[in-house]
Chain A
Amino acid sequence: MMRLKLHVWRQKSGGTQGSFADYDMTDVSADMSFLEMLDVLNEKLTADGSDPIAFDHDCREGICGACGMVVNGEPHGPRKATTTCQLHMRSFKDGDELWIEPWRAEAFPVIKDLVVDRSAFDRVIQAGGYISVRSGSAPEANSTLVPKLDADAAFDAAQCIGCGACVAACPNASAMLFVSAKVSHLGHLPQGQPERYARVRKMVAQMDAEGFGGCTNHKECEAACPKEISISHIARLNRDLLKAQLTAAEEKKVSESA
């Protein structure tokens, strides 16, 4: 059993001032997940009649993207390629002091405690992170061939769970890794081609309007990403935007009809 000292960001609501509250945890099992450790603390807080710590979580198996907090300065904590829910207390030592903060970004306002509003990502997806297809019966599986390497590259990008750790890690709170993963995912596949260049312009415009910062190539996003999305997707996004802007005539038709 471990003893831990926690400093947790507490903030009643978006409009109010927040501050750190200190909690001493006495019997933390190394087998607990990080969120289970917070569950234990919350049960105690509830029993004591105080407000439990609010944090986002859903699947708790590292695939939904709901959870996420900055632990000792690292989004999702110290373990590489691991979401907060898949982080276990064996990654910490007895007597450790942990600073737990929400994602900090203008585009991700705090709702309560460690919960931030990530709907900026939803609006970026709404702007162009889709393909337009006729719904109805599924097409024959082999009618559109996808080269293996393209399928792999698309899948690498499609692993993005939209958790926002890239924004949290970036010194500029930039959303470039997220946006590039979505653009790359669809742009590598034949189904994504018709809207490819209109998509990148729309998504980048929405990204900038949401108040995210720009990319200064620190690579902090790549290091923090629980799915290890590569910054090579950011380069691809830059290429696609450059081409989209410079091939205006061909591209104009698409954007007008979309």
Chain B
Amino acid sequence: MANTTAPSRDLRALPAAPGPLGLLDSTIGQKIVMATTGAILVGFVLFHFIGNALIFAGPEAINDYSHLLHHSHGLIWVARAVLLLAVVLHIATALRLTAKNASARPQPYKVKRDIATNYAARTMVWSGPILLGFLLYHLAHLTFGVTPGPYQHSPEDVYSNLVNGFSIPWVSGLYIVSMLSLGYHLFHGVWSMFQSLGINHSAYNPRIKHAAIGLALFITLGNISIPLSVLLGLVH
């Protein structure tokens, strides 16, 4: 009789403690954390783009908008705290899930064919870290104005910051490539968000799929249009 190497496992693993915190003990609960924090971040990138699109309305519009955000009686700090928490939870949970997934197949296949998955889904684990790197650069660049190089930062003049920043081709290039990464991340992430939260119904599935594609395209192309317009001299 062949001997197996099955590690000894609990015959009856205890269910997680009841309540929302118990959710964090299961992979499904962790996916729910990914989905809810992801939803917050999707909401952010959507409104971030809509706000930034004011650059096309001229210097006054976007600078007034920036002024409004910075004189919101602390509301901006509430938003920043929520976003920071969402980013930290999203990354921490992703690391935890990725580690578990990696250990679930210690011996890879010699030959493996993908049938249903797609490029965006397979590369979530790469587009995520790219976006984190971009986020840090982006904050250093346009929020704190501490990136090295010829760029001149002025906290009060968002319009000039964007035009100055994006006039440097490699900076614009970095933003555009990062936004493509964001597009892939959103394409899989938005659809996944619904599935992980259990929102799957034959009547709504095609609409959810289309919404995911539409949102990913809208945010990606919209964001890319800003550095591209500066590079092409449409915004100056």
Contacts and interface: CB of A to CB of B under 8 A. Distances in A.
Q: Do A and B bind each other?
A: yes
Interface stretch (B8-16, B41-49, B173-181): B8-16
A112 B11 contact: no
B101 A172 contact: yes
A231 B195 contact: yes
Contacts of B149: none
Contact of A216 (B20, B108, B124): B124
A208 B15 contact: no
Interface centre among A173, A210, A235 (most CB of B within 10 A): A235
Interface residues of B, number: 61
Interface stretch (B110-118, B135-143, B155-163): B110-118
B5 interface: yes
Nearest to B196: A238
A218 B108 contact: no
A73 B109 CA distance: 7
A176 to B, nearest CB: 8
B19 to A, nearest CB: 5
A107 interface: yes
Given A73-B109, A232-B202, A223 B116 contact: yes
Nearest to A224: B115
A109 B5 contact: yes
B84 to A, nearest CB: 25
B210 interface: no
Interface residues of A, number: 74
B27 interface: yes
Interface in A218-258: 218-220, 222-224, 231-232, 234-242, 245-246, 248-249, 251-252, 255
Contacts of B196: 215, 217, 238
Contacts of A242: 23, 32, 197-198
A181 interface: no
B107 interface: yes
Nearest to B19: A248
Nearest to B15: A201
Contact of B10 (A109, A209, A217): A209
Interface string B25-38: 11111111000000
Contacts of A204: 15-16, 26-28
Which 3 A-B pairs have CB atoms at the shortest separation, nearest pair first? A248-B18, A239-B198, A235-B200
30 contacts: A7-B110, A14-B2, A14-B3, A15-B3, A15-B5, A20-B110, A73-B109, A104-B105, A104-B109, A106-B103, A110-B5, A120-B9, A126-B11, A127-B13, A171-B101, A172-B100, A174-B104, A201-B15, A204-B15, A213-B101, A213-B102, A213-B103, A213-B105, A214-B97, A217-B195, A236-B200, A238-B198, A245-B18, A245-B29, A255-B18
Interface of B: 2-7, 9-16, 18-20, 22-23, 25-32, 97, 100-117, 121-122, 124, 188, 191-192, 194-202
Interface of A: 7, 9, 12-15, 20, 70, 72-74, 99, 101, 104-107, 109-112, 117, 119-120, 123, 126-127, 169, 171-174, 176, 198, 201-202, 204-220, 222-224, 231-232, 234-242, 245-246, 248-249, 251-252, 255
